Amino acid sequence: MSEDRQKLSQPDPEYAAILASTPLPRPPKLDIKVLREILHKDMAARTQEIYGPRLPAKSEYRVEDHMIPVEGAQMALRCLIPIPRADKGQTFPLFYWIHGGAGRLGTIELDDLLLRTICVEFQITVVNIEYRLAPEYKFPVGVNDTYAGLKWAAEHASQLSADLAKGFIVGGASAGGYLTAVVTHRALDDPFFVDRPLTAQILCIPMVIHPDAYPEKYKSELQSVEELATSTPTFNKEDLYESYNDQGSDPFNPESSPLLYISHTGLPPTYFQVCGLDLLRDEGLLYERLLREAGITTKLDVYPGVPHGFHLFFPKIKQAVKYEEDFRKGLAWLLNGAKADEANV
């Protein structure tokens, strides 16, 4: 491991101090439905504490909940639409968001409050989806659900007061980042998107390659899964493999490991967030480099010494405040044309 990555692995002092006084418990081994209920309640309380006091007035946006047909089922979407302001336009860019949860956990409620603040602050229509989860639904159900929702959002843009020419951004965190990477690739070769192309993607702490599928030429760069295998009780190597095993996908399929696509040429500008104590760290850093080398304009923010999803568990530490501020700056950068000379500003 390089000296730079060793520095990324050194625990952030604020994070280390809190963890020393209040250790994070290892989630219990429970039936997946029971685990979901417990964790979803916990995350609802956490996000309410973080974002509840900052929610915009209900008069500033409207909420539309939709059920759309997907293969053999219906999928929930929550659409957040700004109320037009007198001094602004009547249509908005569209931001399609995919929640995280290792493909096994999570609902549209996970990021709902954050997205309400984003909707009003950026005057952007948000479509937040609830794709079906593993292990009940195996690969490629989650991918196909996400892609169906993306097409629905594009087809119904006018209904959602959105103008895709002003911006059509897809983004997600963790497993949502993985799904973002896959559907953004899918859209490249789909005639459906020729006249309504994606303009940007956001990849927050993304899963982009199965550990069993590391190409030989990149193995020296992909050390964090082993190095940080037990670095945090909330997401470790065991959890990562459980997520992939529940999906039941071929590790070498690019729709399971999007880093393995033969080419990344043609992808839209991309904003990355990567954590230094995250076992997904190295694949995020490598994927950013591969996109950049393919001519894609990228912007990368790295948070040394903090683990996967830390901002939800330790929202008051400086790194967490910066993480949210950077997310907003990254979104603004993409909406303003993703200029390469502003990527590191």
Angle between helices 112-122 and 318-335 (to 10 degrees): 50
pLDDT at 23: 80
| The pair of three-digit structure tokens given for residue 242, joined into one six-digit string | 């459980």
Which positions of the chain have pLDDT values less than 70?
A: 1-3, 345
pLDDT at 27: 73
Domain membership of residue 62 (yes or no) is yes
User: What span, in angstroms and rounded, lies between the C-alpha atoms of 173 and 97?
Assistant: 9
Domain membership of residue 275 (yes or no) is yes
Domain membership of residue 343 (yes or no) is no
Name which of 286, 172, 177, 280 is nearest 235 in CA terms. 280
Domain membership of residue 282 (yes or no) is yes
Pairing state between β 73-82 and 61-70:
antiparallel
- Prior bond of 140 cis (ω within 30°): yes
pLDDT at 1: 46
Domain membership of residue 155 (yes or no) is yes
Whether residue 122 contacts residue 332, with contact meaning beta carbons closer than 8 Å, is answered with: yes
- Tell me which residue range forms the domain holding 206: 3-338
If one counts the domains in the chain, the total is 1
User: What span, in angstroms and rounded, lies between the C-alpha atoms of 180 and 175?
Assistant: 9
C-alpha to C-alpha distances, 325 to 201, 286, 315, 321, 332, nearest whole angstrom: 17, 24, 12, 6, 11
Name which of 67, 38, 66, 143 is nearest 98 in CA terms. 143
pTM of the model: 0.97
Domain membership of residue 235 (yes or no) is yes
pLDDT at 3: 60
Domain membership of residue 46 (yes or no) is yes
Instruction: Tell me the three state secondary structure of residue 306.
Output: coil
Output the DSSP codes for 55-94: PPPGGGEEEEEEEEEETTEEEEEEEEEEPPPTTS-S-B-E
pLDDT for 155-166, tens place per residue?
999 999 999 999
Domain membership of residue 344 (yes or no) is no
Which CATH number do you get for residue 231?
3.40.50.1820
| Strand-by-strand arrangement of the 73-82 sheet | 61-70, 73-82, 125-130, 94-98, 168-173, 200-204, 270-275, 298-303
